[in-house]
Every structure is written in structure tokens, then in C-alpha cells.
Amino acid sequence: MSSCLKHDWYSDSSTLPWCPRCLDENASRPSEPGVALGVRVDVFKFSLAMEAALKKHDKERGERGWISSPDPVTWFLSRLKEEVEELQEAMDNIDVKLTKKECADVANFAMMIYSILADRERSP
């Protein structure tokens, strides 16, 4: 469980242990949590955006809901291509907020493909 009184933020998840607004405000500090874990600041902050996007669907799909697709790699590659098109459209419209959202969506679909393939490697 984590909380931030400064920004009235609370998380009961171990996957989001730090207040994202505090991270933004303290990005230049070497003691930032991502740096302490050996992760680049930008990678750490981007992973928080990815996690936030995934969490929106946890109730309906579960934490690893992408695993249950019938042909997951083919389907997710198709969705990844759709998300890249949405990213391009957001960039063409110079919509910074939407572009950042679409970047996380693209990364999440790539991560899902990676995850499925990694699971297959581990299975006999």
C-alpha cells in the first residue's frame, strides 16, 4: 500500500508504489525510485503510464487477460498495427495528451506479444 498526502494519491498495488506526480516533480533527483532500481528515469515513468493503461481493464480481463486469446500473437500484432495508426493520427493532430496515451498503448501491445512468446519459451 502506498500513499501521497501531497497529491491526495493512494495505491494498494505493489506495481505502482510511487506517486506519479511526485516522480514528475523529482525527475532530476538521483534518488528517484526508478534510478534506485537501476531503471532509467524515462523508462520508469513510461512503464507507469503503461501500467496505468493496463489497470483500466483489470476488472474485466484480469492482470494477464491477453493470454486467453485464441491466437494471441497474430491478434496482438494486428492490434499493435492499429495502435500505431492511432499514434500517427494523434501526432498528426498535434494532440500531446492523446499521443502519450497512444505511445503507452503501442508499448503495451508489444509487451503482450513479448510476454506470450516468453511464456512459450519457458513451456516444454
pTM of the model: 0.68
C-alpha cell belonging to residue 84: 500505431
Half-sphere exposure at residue 5, Cβ-oriented, CA atoms within 13 angstroms: 0
Continuous segment of H or E residues that includes residue 11: strand 9-11
Q: Measure the CA–CA gap between 6 and 21, rounded to whole angstroms.
A: 9
Rounded Cα distance between 79 and 110, Å, is 9
**Opening angle at CA 35, ends 30 and 38, nearest 5:** 140
Give the pLDDT confidence of 51-91 residue by residue, as tens digits. Answer: 999 888 878 877 676 666 667 788 889 999 999 999 999 99
For residue range 98-108, list pLDDT tens digits in order: 999 999 999 99
| Residue 102 C-beta-side C-alpha neighbours within 13 Å | 20
- Cα distance between the two ends of the chain: 37
